[in-house]
Structure 1
Amino acid sequence: MPYSQYTPEEVARRGEELYEQHIRAQVEAENQGKFLVVDIETGAYEIDADDLTATKRILGKRPEAVLYGLRIGSPTAYRLGGHFTVEQL
């Protein structure tokens, strides 16, 4: 979603600030691994195991919301790649 009034860096900065300053202490212990989606303009947020579900819920409340998402307790929301296993002969 492009937001003409915000750069991607500003969305990320504001989202991280809201999470660290106002949300993290309330949600982190019981929601490890779930997705949090926050409206950077209001501070409202939704949490769900599925990021799309959380996004739809918050947009249902405020369709013009400017959103930032993260995975609680993880430095990244998604992982790319895989892993190899070695067969023993």
Structure 2
Amino acid sequence: MYIENKSSSLNGPARIGRVTFSKTGKSINYGGRTFQSLKGSGFKANFFDVETGERFWISGPRKDGKDRLYAESSAPVEIDAEVTEEYWRDIRGKLSD
């Protein structure tokens, strides 16, 4: 999934990583954090961290790699090491060397 922290700005730190869903499907877990949906009430965010209240944009990664809401942002998107090969092969359709 694409995970971008929106709590400080519209172009926050972002990464691609593997998430897990709760048994009920109402929350997402990633990196030791639990996120719940804002159910449409967020501004440029769709989830929040249940412990800190920080707001995030979480979505499936895009095939074209333009995951950021604002394309003019040149900030890098980190890719977790354990999903790098899968991301480039299955999402972007390219094999990494």
Normalised by the length of structure 2, the TM-score is 0.28
More strand by share: 2
Specify the structure having the higher radius of gyration (Cα): 1
More helix by share: 1
Normalised by the length of structure 1, the TM-score is 0.30
